[in-house]
């Protein structure tokens, strides 16, 4: 298949000359092509057919045991000036990075097929979408990219019309951990990835393009590329508000995107619509509001923890036409992971299951599935205009201090909330309880440039005429003195989202505190929920003395991004400090007396 775009053809030819594949295949994204690749991988053992009666169209892939996750320490942002990458990224000089990668790519595809994968991130006809081409020697990557992006002939046609695209070059190489790098060249809109077949390192449309490169594009072009879910909340009157939300890992992002309302809400007619579970691109519309698309077309979700209790919609999504990676298998050849009924007989490495070898499924085992298979999938996910965002939500896992929900006073305060967000670790994970890891806007591993410049870009959207979303911070994970969670979470989080919507619509007054606007206790609908009044009081309590310490820690964290830290953000942090001091000093003096 030939391309009429000379730049694309030349790049493909140059890459083939360097990597020396046995053959080159231009991918068209068709059903026939997918079926042929699956048959090829079944024959080679790269895919294993699962129980087609219980899971039609489902297959298992087992990756190399040394290649099971993103490798952040081997992921680089390559800008001419190291300062532009910022302290939030690993940096390498572009010339050095190209030389290192080109040496690795030299002859690396001998005896293999080189696949040319044109793709579009976002609806194929949306002006908010951006295109790329990934060259890879992995058929696993091709079939996953087909699910995760709008891949094939339509994307290539758009590339030919526009004349520009992100160039992604990938090879699994020898899967040697010592010869594994992921390089990003933002100024060139290029990515080079070598030595890994794992999704986050090899599916270049995902984190590499849709966040690291796109965040750079977004800053230059006046939009936002964010690590956020997009969910629509429809009330009984049929009105829908769309919310974008950013959370670090293990904070319930996918669960919120596919939330099932509590029974009372369902009876009233409340509905939840899933637009996206991981990435959100937002751009100001002509009316001043932010409009968002989900650049992805599928879910690359973590399987362990997905169950009928935690996320029945996700479980229903993956009952057919799904690629599973590094899960276990039952005696009747069904995919299995901890939390599902039944027993595994084979673990994620293909060994007979032995508990002494660790979990049957790898903790980062994945499923790749079309978003359209989700029972709550919204047709608005294909809307070329995107959906208008009413609220932006930040959140983290904090066992104390952070209230259940608080609203920022204004946009600048909201940017501070996002910049300060983070999660506290547990003893099981780190050996130390309460170690706070800041992860501004949940973008620390994914922002393709200096965090100080990134904060400034966020602040730049506060322009005359802008109708910006309200910004909130949530904490589903606050604990009581007994160490138990105070809030039930999951579907009951809709009660908090309803309050946010009421604030957006001007129907809830809230209570103003130095750290934000909190619900008045009576403003949260709690019918059908067994929540002691003391728990609600604790969930909404603001410990002003402890918040003074928190704001000091936030100030020290932000200072890491000087001299590029925006003065407005530093000033906002000081404003909150002064408001706390004015109200908190007497309390602190009484406590010490």
- CA 267, CA 380: separation in Å to the nearest integer? 24
Q: Which of 204, 222, 240 is the last residue of a domain?
A: 222
Residues 489-503, mean pLDDT to the nearest whole number: 97
Is 418 annotated in a binding site? The answer is no
* Same domain, residue pair 86 and 182: yes
Tokens of 416: 């501070």
* Same domain, residue pair 319 and 347: yes
Q: Distances in Å between the alpha carbon of 329 and those of 57, 239, 355, 368, 533?
A: 16, 43, 14, 17, 45
* Same domain, residue pair 159 and 11: yes
Residue 424 has pLDDT above 90, yes or no: no
- CA 467, CA 452: separation in Å to the nearest integer? 24
Which of these is catalytic: 78, 120, 131, 251? Answer: 251
Tokens of 204: 């270049």
* Same domain, residue pair 314 and 268: no
**Which pLDDT tens digit goes with each residue over 213-223?**
999 999 999 99
Mean of the per-residue pLDDT values of the chain: 95
Is 63 annotated in a binding site? The answer is no
Is 247 annotated in a binding site? The answer is no
363's CB contacts (< 8 A; 6+ apart) are 304
Q: pLDDT: is 568 or 1 the higher one?
A: 568
Q: Which of 203, 222, 241 is the last residue of a domain?
A: 222
**CATH number, position 467:** 3.90.228.20
Element (H, E) at 102: helix 94-105
Is 207 annotated in a binding site? The answer is yes
* Same domain, residue pair 160 and 200: yes
34's CB contacts (< 8 A; 6+ apart) are 143, 146
**Which pLDDT tens digit goes with each residue over 113-142?**
999 999 999 999 999 999 999 999 999 999
- CA 284, CA 335: separation in Å to the nearest integer? 43
Residue 153 falls inside a structural domain: yes
Tokens of 76: 């680089």
Is 62 annotated in a binding site? The answer is no
Number of Cβ atoms within 10 Å of the Cβ of 388:
17
* Same domain, residue pair 327 and 404: no
Residue 591 has pLDDT above 70, yes or no: no
* Same domain, residue pair 464 and 357: no
Helix, strand, coil percentages (3-state) for the chain, rounded to 5, are: 35, 20, 40
Residue 258 falls inside a structural domain: yes
**Which pLDDT tens digit goes with each residue over 278-333?**
999 999 999 999 999 999 999 999 999 999 999 999 999 999 999 999 999 999 99
* Same domain, residue pair 474 and 557: yes
Q: Distances in Å between the alpha carbon of 36 and those of 27, 58, 85, 198?
A: 12, 15, 42, 22
Residue 484 C-beta-side C-alpha neighbours within 13 Å: 6
* Same domain, residue pair 425 and 278: yes
pLDDT at 155: 98
* Same domain, residue pair 248 and 362: no
Please indicate whether residue 251 is annotated as part of the active site: yes
* Same domain, residue pair 477 and 552: yes
Phi-psi sector, 89: left (phi>0), alpha (psi -120 to 50), beta: beta
Contact 316, 369 (CB under 8 A): no
Residue 588 has pLDDT above 50, yes or no: no
- CA 76, CA 447: separation in Å to the nearest integer? 11
- CA 279, CA 208: separation in Å to the nearest integer? 12
Is 78 annotated in a binding site? The answer is no
- CA 452, CA 565: separation in Å to the nearest integer? 4
Residue 391 falls inside a structural domain: yes
**CATH number, position 152:** 3.40.449.10
Q: How many domains does the chain have?
A: 3
* Same domain, residue pair 290 and 420: yes
Task: Name the residue range of residue 525's domain.
Answer: 226-296+381-580
Q: Which of 195, 130, 123 is nearest to 165 (CA)?
A: 130
Number of Cβ atoms within 10 Å of the Cβ of 72:
13
- CA 271, CA 233: separation in Å to the nearest integer? 6
Residue 59 falls inside a structural domain: no
Q: Which of 367, 253, 363 is nearest to 310 (CA)?
A: 253
Is 465 annotated in a binding site? The answer is no
Residue 55 falls inside a structural domain: no
Residue 438 falls inside a structural domain: yes
pLDDT band of residue 586 (cuts 50, 70, 90) is very low
Is 271 annotated in a binding site? The answer is no
Tokens of 137: 């020697």
């Amino acid at each position: 298949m030939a391309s009429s775009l000379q730049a694309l053809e030349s790049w493909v030819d140059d890459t083939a000359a360097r990597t020396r594949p046995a053959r080159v295949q231009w991918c068209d994204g068709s059903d026939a092509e997918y079926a042929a690749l699956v048959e090829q991988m079944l024959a080679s053992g790269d895919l294993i057919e699962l129980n087609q009666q219980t899971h039609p169209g489902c297959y298992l892939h087992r990756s190399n045991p040394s290649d099971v996750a993103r490798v952040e320490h081997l992921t680089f942002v390559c800008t001419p000036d190291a300062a532009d990458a910022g302290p939030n990224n690993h940096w390498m000089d572009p010339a050095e990075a190209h030389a290192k990668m080109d040496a690795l790519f030299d002859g690396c595809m001998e005896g293999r097929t080189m696949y040319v994968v044109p793709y579009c991130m976002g609806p194929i006809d949306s002006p908010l979408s951006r295109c790329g081409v990934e060259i890879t020697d992995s058929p696993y990557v091709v079939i996953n990219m087909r699910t995760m992006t709008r891949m094939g002939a339509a994307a290539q046609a758009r590339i030919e019309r526009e004349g520009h695209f992100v160039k992604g070059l990938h090879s699994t190489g020898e899967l040697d951990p010592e010869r594994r790098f992921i390089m990003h060249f933002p100024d060139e809109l290029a990515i080079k990835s070598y030595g890994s077949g794992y999704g986050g390192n090899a599916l270049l449309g995902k984190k590499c393009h849709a966040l690291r490169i796109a965040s750079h594009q977004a800053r230059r072009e006046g939009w936002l590329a964010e690590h956020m879910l997009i969910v629509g909340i429809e009330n009984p009157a049929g009105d829908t508000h769309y919310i974008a939300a950013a959370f670090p890992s293990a904070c319930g992002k996918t669960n919120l995107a596919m939330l099932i309302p509590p029974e009372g809400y369902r009876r009233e007619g409340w509905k939840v619509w899933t637009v996206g579970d991981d990435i959100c691109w937002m751009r100001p519309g002509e009316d001043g509001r932010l409009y968002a698309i989900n650049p992805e077309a599928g879910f690359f979700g973590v399987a362990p923890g997905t169950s009928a209790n935690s996320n029945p919609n996700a479980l229903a999504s993956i009952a057919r036409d799904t690629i599973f990676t590094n899960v276990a298998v039952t005696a009747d050849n069904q995919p299995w992971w901890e939390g599902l009924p039944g027993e595994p007989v084979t673990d994620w490495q293909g060994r007979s299951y032995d508990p002494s070898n660790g979990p049957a499924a790898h903790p980062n085992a994945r499923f790749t599935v079309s978003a359209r298979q989700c029972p709550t999938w919204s047709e608005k996910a294909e809307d070329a205009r995107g959906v208008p965002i009413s609220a932006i939500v930040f959140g983290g896992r904090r066992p104390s201090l952070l209230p259940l929900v608080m609203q920022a006073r204004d946009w600048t305060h909201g940017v501070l909330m996002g910049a300060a967000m983070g999660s506290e670790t547990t003893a099981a994970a780190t050996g130390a309880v309460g170690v706070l890891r800041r992860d501004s806007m949940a973008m620390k591993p994914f922002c393709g440039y200096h965090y100080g410049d990134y904060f400034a870009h966020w602040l730049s959207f506060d322009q005359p005429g802008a109708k910006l979303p309200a910004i909130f911070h949530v904490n589903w994970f606050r604990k009581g003195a007994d160490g138990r969670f105070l809030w039930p979470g999951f579907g009951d989080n809709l009660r908090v989202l309803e309050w946010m919507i009421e604030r957006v619509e001007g129907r809830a007054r809230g209570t103003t505190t130095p750290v934000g606007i909190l619900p008045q206790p009576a403003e949260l609908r709690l019918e059908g929920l067994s929540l002691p009044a003391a728990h609600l009081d604790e969930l909404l309590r603001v410990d002003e003395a402890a918040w003074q310490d928190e704001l000091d820690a936030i100030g020290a964290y932000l200072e890491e991004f000087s001299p590029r830290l925006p003065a407005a953000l530093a000033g906002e942090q000081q404003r909150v400090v002064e408001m706390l001091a004015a109200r908190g000093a007497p309390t602190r003096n009484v406590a010490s007396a």
